Amino acid sequence: MIDLQQSGRGLDGYPLLFAQLQALLADERDFIANAAQFSAFLFQELADLNWAGFYLARGEELVLGPFQGRVACVRIPFGRGVCGVAAATRQSQRVEDVHAFAGHIACDSATASELVLPLVKDGRLIGVLDLDSPRPARFSLQDQAAIERLAEIFLQLTDC
């Protein structure tokens, strides 16, 4: 398992993760299959996660998609909670303490920090990638950059 934060290495230190994801998704373009694989990959390869998965844009809300972890909230309106804010603003949300985030939706009370990336392809919001951790301040700027690169690989190799 890789803990990007504790290793102290920047984005350039992770070509293996990028190559592994490219190999994992290389022969499949189906969104559901690749989203399921990507969720499992992140959950398996990144340390200190208690949830990794997708919420998919449906109108003005997000609907639960493929994930790894405990049961989750099914629908989240745009603008509500960390995922809804990421969808509404189309900006990544890196939250060191979810309990200090106004309007946080507590699907799992064990979650202490969160990283949510909007997934945009050809100008269209597909949904968000949500990573939760029971460890406060789990996600560094280096984590965010590396995971954003992994999300780019996913989007490039997947029909959305």
Does 122 have pLDDT greater than 50? Answer: yes
Does 2 have pLDDT greater than 80? Answer: no
Residue at 100 is within a domain: yes
For residues 97-126, give the mean pLDDT: 91
Residue at 2 is within a domain: no
Residue at 31 is within a domain: yes
Residue 7: the pLDDT is 40
Does 123 have pLDDT greater than 70? Answer: yes
Residue at 1 is within a domain: no
Pairing of strands 124-133, 51-58: antiparallel
Q: What is the pLDDT of residues 102-116, one digit of tens each?
A: 877 878 788 999 999
Residue at 52 is within a domain: yes
Nearest to 98, CA basis, from 50, 146, 59: 50
Q: Report the domain count for the chain.
A: 1
Fill in the amino acid letter for 76: I
Residue at 90 is within a domain: yes
- Give how far Cα 3 sits from Cα of 26, 50, 74, 105, 106, Å: 25, 14, 28, 25, 24
Residue at 86 is within a domain: yes
**Containing structural domain, residue 37:** 11-156
Domain CATH number, residue 111? 3.30.450.40
Q: Give the number of other Cβ atoms within 10 Å of residue 137's Cβ.
A: 13
Q: Which two tokens stand for residue 98?
A: 């979810």
